[in-house]
């Protein structure tokens, strides 16, 4: 049996930098597309109004007949945009996080673009590392589960 070939040389530093730059570029493209999609989704619901709330893209609701942890987020964002923050919290506390992200992240992206910095990517990586800590993951998972139970209880 032959041993797999292992090069004693490390990958060239330039290669590692190129991979890192490619990951960053993909991150910025994906984040921008996600923001554009979110703005389009909210804008469509804003224009169509209550008739659009009959449209559900939630697989949990369609397949199982129960709300998922994020059900009500669109209605919550729309309520917050109308200035009704309590209703937004009632629909789904995630709506406050969503609207915060929709407001703040574009500024981070523009800052990075203007300063040729990677602040947003570094912040993302730091949050990713934080989420790998067991206690943090347990707390966040518990909050999501509580929100799910609350959504089911409300019949949202």
The residue among 38, 151, 29 whose CA lies nearest residue 98 is: 38
More confident residue, 5 or 127: 127
pLDDT reading at 123 higher than 70: yes
DSSP state letter for 155: T
pLDDT digits (tens, 9 = 90+) for 33-84: 999 999 998 998 888 875 555 666 777 777 787 888 888 888 899 999 999 9
CA pair distance 3, 66, nearest whole angstrom: 53
CA pair distance 82, 153, nearest whole angstrom: 25
More confident residue, 85 or 55: 85
Tokens found for residue 23:
């990951």
pLDDT digits (tens, 9 = 90+) for 89-101: 999 999 999 999 9
- pTM, two decimal places: 0.76
Residue with token string 């129960």: 66
- Minimum mean pLDDT range among 12-26, 71-85, 106-120: 12-26
**SS3 at position 146:** helix
Query: Which residues does 109 contact at the CB level (< 8 Å), separation at least 6?
Result: 28, 31, 32, 35, 120
pLDDT reading at 129 higher than 60: yes
DSSP string, 80-139: HHTT-HHHHHHH-THHHHHHHHHHHHHHHHHHHHHHT--HHHHHHHHHHHHHTSHHHHHH
Residue with token string 């990951």: 23
Q: What is the mean pLDDT of the chain?
A: 85
**SS3 at position 82:** coil
Q: Across 21-25, 55-59, 103-107, which has the greatest mean pLDDT?
A: 103-107
- pLDDT score of 104: 96
- pLDDT score of 72: 85
- pLDDT score of 9: 55
Average pLDDT of the residues in 9-20: 66
- pLDDT score of 50: 59
CA pair distance 78, 145, nearest whole angstrom: 23
Residue with token string 């995630």: 94
């Amino acid at each position: 049996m032959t041993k797999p070939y292992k090069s004693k040389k490390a990958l060239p530093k330039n290669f590692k930098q190129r991979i890192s730059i490619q990951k960053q570029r993909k991150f910025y493209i994906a984040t921008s597309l996600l923001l554009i999609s979110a703005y389009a989704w909210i804008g469509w619901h804003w224009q169509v109004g209550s008739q659009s709330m009959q449209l559900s893209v939630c697989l949990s609701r369609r397949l199982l007949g129960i709300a998922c942890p994020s059900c009500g987020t669109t209605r919550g964002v729309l309520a917050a945009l109308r200035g009704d923050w309590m209703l937004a919290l009632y629909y789904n506390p995630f709506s406050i996080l969503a609207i915060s992200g929709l407001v703040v992240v574009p500024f981070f992206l523009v800052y990075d673009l203007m300063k040729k910095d990677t602040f947003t990517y570094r912040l993302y990586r730091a949050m990713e590392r934080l989420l790998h800590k067991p206690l943090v993951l347990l707390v966040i998972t518990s909050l999501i589960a509580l929100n799910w139970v609350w959504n089911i209880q409300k019949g949202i």
